[in-house]
Amino acid sequence: MTWIQDYNPLGSIGLSALIAAIPLFILLYMLGIKRSRGHNAAFVGVLSALLIAVLVFKMPVSLAISATLNGALVGIFPIVWIIVTAIWVYNMTVEAGEFEIIKNSLASITDDRRLQAIFIAFAFGSFIEGTAGFGTPVAITAAMLVGLGFNPVYAAGICLVANTAPVAFGAIGIPVVVLGQVSGIDAFTLSKIIGRQLPFLSVIVPLWVVVMMCGWKRAMEVLPAVIVAGVCFAGTQFYTSNYISVYLPDITSAFVTIIGLLVFLRVWKPSNTWHFPDEKVDSNGPVELKYSGAEVLRAWAPYIILAILVFLWADDKFIGFKAVLVKWEKIIGLTSFQWPGLHNLVIKSAPVVAKNAPYAATYGINFLSAAGTAIFFTGIISLFVIPNYGFSRATTCFGKTIKQLIYPIFTIAMILGLAYIMNYSGMSSTLGMAFTATGGAYPFFAPFLGWLGVFLTGSDTSANALFGSMQKTAAQQLGIDPNLIVASNSSGGVCGKMISPQSISVATAATGLVGEESTIFRFALPHSIAMIILIGGLTYLQAYALHWMMP
């Protein structure tokens, strides 16, 4: 028996939205004020969402439970699978002593923590975001920064903030492609608009990260390198998104930024080397490279292999390896299936859709083509490169990694359960409809919907799937350019990534701060709010005074 979503169960969209937001208020309170552990906050949040879905939005209990379980399983696979394998590869390099070589090779380029943060969290992290996405860059780069000796809280916060710039074009452009599919707008058109919004943010993210670490005075000491990183990334992001392809902006931007920094740092060094105040520093002079070129290449090999494999696994437009993996999955039966007790039993209604439409619910067991599997094979192949480290030690390390991540696994599963119950009950759509009541000011608030969606789901792709169609409908009703409003959903969404409980769980797992999710949330929240206000203001101006900027 089907059930039709009711977006205004209390007869007032404002009151209905207020009630629908209670699970979010609970998360904000428990993480930001009470400073609860992440899994505790997630449990209370998902429980409250279940109760509101059933008691207020009148969702049948069986559908509510089925939606929550569907989301929880999506949290475990493919998302937790990415995190476990990424941390496993890192843990192996640490156990084998190879990460000491990585640390020394980076320090020989620059021992300055500010520049290391830009190089690893911003540039290298953007490349991983562009190829894999879905939590992979934060898991890898945060672990690397801690291994380099960064303060764990700053390592987590830096990687979350730095990951802002590439999110919209992550996983080879999947968020924009999905946005085009759900809105009916050409994906390349959306890419052009996003590419005329995000570069304004991307160009200042390196400076933002450095100021966050050490303040304005110390940031000015590395301003030349900050400018090189910001201009390389933002300029390439603009050009690629507008004139080349929706699939490549992150990969090309990260590549140009990495090369630009490497070349620049060969001819320029800051006058003072900066470390964290509580950090023990052996020497203030330049660090000498203690290893041969072959040893450095061997130490970096797992991450080089990782970069190659995650690109191959995600690519279905150029080489086409992903298509081969999908074909193999179909042959052996690893395909998506309809989620029992939920698929097409929930009916979306107006104004979220033009006419009543069933809400599909599926679950993919695409083990071969999953990004986490690419990272898993990275670990296997790396065993042939890492010296004196065999399958036995790797297996033991894998078990230790799962034990290390047990609480983040529970947290992520519950957060995805929360996102799914809010989507299928119509609570998320109720929150979206409340924003449309702002009338002519809607262009300012439209990016906040994407921000909210990413906060809920941890994914710009999911936020675009959730609100993309609604954004187009609202814009048409208000007489505002629908292309701009739909694109702003993705641009605004990137600002919510750093405060998503899912992302924070990944960061705390990677930095050994499990149980300190509230600390990271409080650290990232002001930056997230400031950035979404910038995107909101830019979208408002582009809707009216600066509409000439649109393609």
Reading the chain (551 residues) residue by residue, the pLDDT tens digits are 899 999 999 999 889 989 998 988 888 788 777 777 778 888 998 999 999 999 999 999 999 999 999 989 988 887 788 778 877 888 898 899 887 887 777 777 777 889 989 988 898 888 878 766 666 788 888 888 888 788 888 888 898 999 888 888 877 677 887 778 667 788 889 999 999 999 999 999 999 999 988 889 899 999 999 999 999 999 999 998 898 878 778 888 988 998 999 899 888 888 888 888 877 766 555 567 888 989 989 998 988 888 788 778 866 667 888 889 989 999 898 888 999 999 999 999 887 777 899 999 989 888 898 878 988 999 999 999 999 899 999 999 999 988 877 877 887 788 778 878 988 998 888 887 887 778 888 899 899 988 987 887 677 877 776 677 678 777 877 888 889 999 999 999 999 988 888 788 888 888 887 777 888 888 899 999 999 999 999 999 999 988 888 88
Residue 512 Rama label (left phi>0; alpha psi -120 to 50; beta): left
Classify residue 126: in a domain, yes or no. yes
Q: How many domains does one find in the chain?
A: 1
Q: Are 74 and 416 a contacting pair, CB within 8 Å?
A: yes
Task: Classify residue 77 as exposed, middle or buried by CB count within 10 Å of its CB (0-12, 13-18, 19+).
Answer: middle
Q: What is the distance between the alpha carbons of residues 23 and 182, in angstroms, rounded to a whole number?
A: 26
- The count of other CB atoms within 10 Å of the CB of residue 52 is 22
Classify residue 335: in a domain, yes or no. yes
Backbone angles phi, psi at 346, to 5 degrees: -100, 135
Query: Kind and range of the H or E element at 450?
Result: helix 442-457
Classify residue 257: in a domain, yes or no. yes
Q: What is the distance between the alpha carbons of residues 304 and 445, in angstroms, rounded to a whole number?
A: 41
Q: Tokens 């996003």 label which residue?
A: 194
User: Residue 281's pLDDT is what?
Assistant: 65
Query: Residue 390 forms beta bridges with which residues?
Result: none
Classify residue 444: in a domain, yes or no. yes
Q: What is the distance between the alpha carbons of residues 176 and 204, in angstroms, rounded to a whole number?
A: 22
User: Residue 471's pLDDT is what?
Assistant: 81
Classify residue 68: in a domain, yes or no. yes
Q: Are 204 and 167 a contacting pair, CB within 8 Å?
A: no
- For the CA atoms of 472, 478, 480, 482, the dihedral, rounded to the nearest 10 degrees, stands at 10
In DSSP notation, 310-328 reads HHHHH-SSSS-HHHHHHHH
Classify residue 543: in a domain, yes or no. yes
Q: What is the distance between the alpha carbons of residues 254 and 251, in angstroms, rounded to a whole number?
A: 5
Q: Tokens 């028996």 label which residue?
A: 1
Q: What is the distance between the alpha carbons of residues 222 and 305, in angstroms, rounded to a whole number?
A: 31
Q: What is the distance between the alpha carbons of residues 368 and 388, in angstroms, rounded to a whole number?
A: 28
Q: Which domain holds residue 350?
A: 3-277+301-549
Q: Reduced to 3 states, what is the DSSP secondary structure of residue 4?
A: strand
Cα dist. 221→108, 158, 227 in Å? 19, 19, 12
User: Residue 375's pLDDT is what?
Assistant: 85
Give me the half-sphere count of Cα atoms (radius 13 Å) on the Cβ side of residue 177.
Answer: 13
Burial 488-527 (b: 16+ CB within 10 A, else e): bbbbbbbbbbbbbbbbbbbbbbbbebbebbbbbbebbeeb
Classify residue 289: in a domain, yes or no. no
Q: Are 508 and 217 a contacting pair, CB within 8 Å?
A: no
Classify residue 434: in a domain, yes or no. yes
Give me the half-sphere count of Cα atoms (radius 13 Å) on the Cβ side of residue 49.
Answer: 33
Chain length of the chain = 551
User: Residue 182's pLDDT is what?
Assistant: 64
Q: Reduced to 3 states, what is the DSSP secondary structure of residue 13?
A: helix
Q: Reduced to 3 states, what is the DSSP secondary structure of residue 337?
A: strand
Q: Are 483 and 193 a contacting pair, CB within 8 Å?
A: yes
